[in-house]
Structure 1
Amino acid sequence: MGGAPGSSRIRPSGATRRRAPAPVREYLRDTFWFAPAAGLVGAALLAWLSTAADAWLVSALRHEGDLDAVKRLISVADDSRSIVTTVGAAMLTFIGVVFSISLVALQMAGQQFSPRVVRLYVRSRITKCTFSVFLATFLFCLLVQSSYDSDTDPATVGTVPFLSSLCAVLLVMVSLVLFVAYVNSTLRLTRVSHIIDRIARESFRAARAHAFGRPGDAPLPEAVGVIAYRGRAGVVRDVNAARLVRVARRYGTVLRLEPRAGDFVVPGTPLLTAHGGTVPPARSLRRAVFVGVERTYREDLGFGLRQLADIALRASSPAIQDPTTAVQAVDRITHVLATLAERPLGAVHHRDRTGVVRLVRNVPDWPDLVDLGLAEVRIAAVGNPQVTRRLVAALDDLTRLAPAGRKTPLERHRALLARAVERAVPEPAERDFALRPDRQGIG
């Protein structure tokens, strides 16, 4: 592709960097360093401000001649010193123990359900907030300890960490509250029902933000060139559609994005095809396509279904044999598919401000989503009547909800499931039992 006439190469933003970027909001949600770093900076700033306030308070009291008040502040600060010292010494150990136990629990959850559920922990706001406040409390206590003055004479003491000690106690109280919230959140993330619910809610959020099909009025012009991907191999995470539309309008062309969000691309993979006009140069398309190491919900309509299907497959495997978990995953797969049943799917056409189509993007169509959510689960469910009964009920419900033009893939899966059960279960009564619709599997 790179050597063909009329073709060029593009290096999406960040391909030369060590870590592939994404839009700022999504990037920060997928990282664990930013919130703790911000907490440490905030702790240092708070320590500086509180120490300055303490020095100003002592200076103001001494200026007014109220040395008794300064003496009382010194007494209170001395009493609180043991608290601050104890918290500073214990907080780091506490952080290590708590998060080590949590990571072990999440590792076990990842092995039982799916390795991709660990990203829920990384993206958890309460987890980042708790870790940030813990570290901030530790650093703040260390800085406050360094501000203690050995001079106890009210007439000559430079500063008395009275306000700083109050802030340290307040941070300890906030840490305790967040610790309770964190334990509750972590325990929820180890329970399959809450994991499945979180995945489904992320899928619904992605669907609400998704630009569904806006078909063009005319076929695309003849292709004039291909823009190939150049950079580190990875997964297409995000597309700056607005930038691509502006570039296509400037060069009088229509760009077609070849890979879908979630597709793995390697150097030389066709990335964009230009139809009509002039092929844009690579430099004009920088920061338009972002590639990372793993899929995300943003722009990726099928990622939630992929995770739910993984959980159902693992639960149906001979090593685990947890059909109830598989049924719970099928519940949410049905919910997601029912939500998308009447949405326009297929290619999405982005227009410029004059209404002319400038960008065409491929997204999963209805048969693709049905196959993604149900095909592998259907194959693994044969021989497990609890899951097959739930699948039959799900297919019946979706067939009733789907428009007339979208019933075919559902009917195909229904027929394939019936034939597979007939081959696997020789007893007619058992076959009838396994193919009887039941939204709870077997109650």
Structure 2
Amino acid sequence: MSDWTVTQSPAAGRRPRALSPLREHLRDTFWFAPMAAMVAVFVVWLAAQALDAAIVEALQNDGDYETLDELLRFADDAKAVVSAVASAMMTFIGVVFSISLVAVQMASGQFTPRVVRLFVRSRITKATFAIFLATFVLSLLVLTSFDTAEDARAVTTVPLVQSVLTLCMVAFSLLLFVLYVNTTLRLMRISYVIARIAAESFRVTASMPVTADGPDTPDLGTATAWVPHEGRAGVLRDVHITRLVRTARKHGVTLRLIPRIGDFVVPGTPLLAVHGGAAPPRRALRYTISVGVERTYHQDLGFGLRQLSDIALRALSPAINDPTTAVQALDRVVQFLAALSRRPLDAALHRDRHGVVRLVQPVPGWTELVDLGFTEVRGCAVGSPQVSRRMLAGLDDLLLLAPPERSEPLMRHRELLHQAVDRAEQFPSDRAFALHPDRQGIG
């Protein structure tokens, strides 16, 4: 049984699970997939080379030199093909790299720099680059396997299997190149980028074990010890929940994470509060906290809303002036908040196998999420009726979905938007038009 369990969240629809920080960090890198592919293709080449040597040895033992002569003639033709493949793959790799750089530059300039990580995390981009490099390495390795002997009795190996494997890799590379171009073109469309951000945000929501304040929430009391941050300064990316729960259970304490995921932490500031005993030794807490230079989706509940707000703000800037993109971002903001409207927030309680709370992780509350989704966009919505109408429609929808105790921040944003439009529009007809709720903005 797992070392930790969590209270089931009605919004998740399934039992949340602890995602591996290592796996998530590898997804945020671009070097791992190509390196793994090149190592794997080297192992495959060794196996294919051994198989080719076994085939030649079997034919020589049987005295079937006529077949060996045919294989030697095939090898001459295959060598020319493999040489051409080795040259062409470098060109393809350059094309893939150039397309990626152009796409990243356009996306970061038009949308927000934070969407660059969508390109880095794209599986098809990594697979294409990895397979291209693997095909190039394989073709070079195969070229070293061609035997210069012309006599069938003296030949030691004929790269038959290796040549066929190279051709299969070329075919696979061409297929991936088509898929890569299609995926890159989709990532350059704002509607698809916004949809990807929303999908990543919902994945975080489903995996985070967020529990409500209530009778199941323990009274931790006063902290008995503190654990300061001793690593480098940076953004708190995630914590290794399983290790922290296991460590707290082993030492009979409860740990409370003080900063939220996404906060900037500096050395010396309190990182963990310990309740019920002494602080665990530093070696037990090693590799449980991950600090980086930017936020990630892994455990950050508000990062998706941050990106959606950034896209809407960039779209409403005078340099771009694209209110339709802002409306598309608001669509996903409303969708995300609607999914959280009845979900317990404010704290995530991680329990051990006996149901004892061992780790308390702070998460954004309802008011904070609503402010994150609407405050900055509302300030730029004045003068753009399309955005103000869509925002009002979204707030009205959320007021219908959220429980009464969560209506205050929604009503506040609604009232502030009314006041801003009243001050900006001097004609009653313009004010009435800008304040008419419309899910399409101006449908």
Q: Which residue in the other structure is 1:100 paired with?
A: 98
Q: Which residue in the other structure is 2:21 paired with?
A: 23
Q: Which residue in the other structure is 2:142 paired with?
A: 144
Which letter maps to 1:267? P
Deviation (angstroms), 1:250: 4.0
Return the alpha-carbon distance in structure 2 between the equivalents of residues 417 and 300 of structure 1. 28
**Aligned with 1:157: secondary structure?**
coil
**Which moves more between the two structures, 283-292 or 369-378?**
283-292
Residues 275-333 of structure 1 show CA distances to partners (whole Å, capped at 9, x for unaligned) of: 34323333332222221221111111101111111100100111110111111000011
Counterparts of residues 295-310 of structure 1 (less than 5 Å): 295-310=295-310
TM-align CA RMSD:
1.5
Q: Which residue in the other structure is 2:167 paired with?
A: 169
**Which moves more between the two structures, 160-169 or 191-200?**
160-169
**Aligned with 1:79: secondary structure?**
helix
Residues 219-260 of structure 1 show CA distances to partners (whole Å, capped at 9, x for unaligned) of: 322222322111101111222233333433444433221101
1:90 aligns with 2:88: yes
Q: Which residue in the other structure is 1:400 paired with?
A: 400
* Contact 1:330–1:390 under 8 Å retained in 2: yes
1:275 aligns with 2:275: yes
438 and 217 in structure 1: CA distance in 2 versus 1, 3 angstrom threshold: closer
Return the alpha-carbon distance in structure 2 between the equivalents of residues 334 and 39 of structure 1. 41
Identity %: 59
Deviation (angstroms), 1:113: 0.1
Deviation (angstroms), 1:132: 0.7
115 and 63 in structure 1: CA distance in 2 versus 1, 3 angstrom threshold: same
* Contact 2:382–2:388 under 8 Å retained in 1: yes
Return the alpha-carbon distance in structure 1 between the equivalents of residues 99 and 356 of structure 2. 56
The number of aligned residues is 422
1:383 aligns with 2:383: yes
Q: Which residue in the other structure is 2:347 paired with?
A: 347
Return the alpha-carbon distance in structure 1 between the equivalents of residues 43 and 156 of structure 2. 20
103 and 352 in structure 1: CA distance in 2 versus 1, 3 angstrom threshold: same
Q: Which residue in the other structure is 1:33 paired with?
A: 31
Q: Which residue in the other structure is 1:288 paired with?
A: 288
Q: Which residue in the other structure is 2:331 paired with?
A: 331
Return the alpha-carbon distance in structure 2 between the equivalents of residues 351 and 157 of structure 1. 66
**Which moves more between the two structures, 277-286 or 59-68?**
277-286
Return the alpha-carbon distance in structure 2 between the equivalents of residues 44 and 246 of structure 1. 39
Q: Which residue in the other structure is 2:13 paired with?
A: none
Deviation (angstroms), 1:61: 0.9
Which letter maps to 1:144? V
Return the alpha-carbon distance in structure 1 between the equivalents of residues 45 and 253 of structure 2. 57
Counterparts of residues 405-424 of structure 1 (less than 5 Å): 405-424=405-424
* Contact 1:214–1:350 under 8 Å retained in 2: no
Q: Which residue in the other structure is 1:54 paired with?
A: 52
Name structure 1 gaps, 5 residues minimum.
Answer: 1-21
Residues 339-385 of structure 1 show CA distances to partners (whole Å, capped at 9, x for unaligned) of: 11110011223333443333222110000100011111111111111
Return the alpha-carbon distance in structure 1 between the equivalents of residues 288 and 36 of structure 2. 28
Return the alpha-carbon distance in structure 1 between the equivalents of residues 207 and 217 of structure 2. 24
Return the alpha-carbon distance in structure 1 between the equivalents of residues 250 and 153 of structure 2. 74
Which letter maps to 1:118? V
Structure 1 stretches of at least 4 aligned residues deviating more than 4 Å after TM superposition: none
Match of 1:201 among 199, 202, 208: 199
Q: Which residue in the other structure is 2:320 paired with?
A: 320
Q: Which residue in the other structure is 1:440 paired with?
A: 440
Name structure 2 gaps, 5 residues minimum.
Answer: 1-19
Q: Which residue in the other structure is 2:111 paired with?
A: 113
**Which moves more between the two structures, 110-119 or 267-276?**
267-276
